[in-house]
Amino acid sequence: MNQETERQTPPSPIPLAFLLCDQVISDATTRKKTIIGVFDRIEISQFPAQYGPVSVYARLVAGEGHYKAIIEVVRLVDLGDENAGRMEGDVEVRGGTNMELGVQFPFITLHGEGRYEARLWLNDRYIHRFPFVVLQRQVEQRSQP
């Protein structure tokens, strides 16, 4: 991105909240949001696994203009970032309004145990992240009667 393009790009909003949860409910009348089931760890018995649905909620302030939003979920591995899910879309923010962003992944793909992150990018700028952990659930071995 050259300097002229950077100057024309709208300012990045300031993140106030960025969460991973089971569900985000929006009241049709009051427009209030209810966040259900915030979590920061997932236990899986076998990998690879598709886990979902998973929702991401973000609340930001001081934004205005057109944004290309990307929310990605990655596993942090030694060589880089292992893709677990990705959504992108265009968002138009009116001046003077706060911004809430909601995304529901039907599922995310978990290839193994480890540290994961949900990340928010707006116009290719890093905004915020939500780290979480995926663990392999130990299955109890039942003794024979």
Partner 1 sequence: MSPTTFVPLDPGMTSEPQEEFYTLPPGGTNARDEESGSFLPSQATVKPIRNEVIIQSLFDDRLLLRKPVHVSIEREGESYIARCDLIEEFGYGRDMLEAVDDLRLTVAELYWTLKSGHANLGTDLGRIYRDLQELIAEVRR
Q: Which residues bind partner 1 (CB under 8 A)?
A: 1, 6-7, 9, 11-16, 26, 30-31, 33, 48, 50, 61-62, 69, 71, 74-77, 79-83, 85-89, 91, 93-94, 96-109, 111-112, 115, 117, 119, 124-127, 129, 131
**Residues sharing a CB contact under 8 Å with residue 42, sequence separation 6 or more, in sequence order:** 51, 110, 132, 133, 134, 135
Task: Return the SS3 of 3.
Answer: helix
Tokens of 78: 């030694």
Q: How far is the CB of 99 from partner 1 (least distance, A)?
A: 6
Bond before 53 cis per omega within 30 degrees: yes
Q: How far is the CB of 118 from partner 1 (least distance, A)?
A: 11
Distance CA(128)–CA(2), nearest Å, equals 23
* C-beta of 22 vs 81, nearer to partner 1: 81
> What number of other Cβ atoms are within 10 A of residue 107's Cβ?
13
* C-beta of 61 vs 145, nearer to partner 1: 61
* C-beta of 12 vs 136, nearer to partner 1: 12
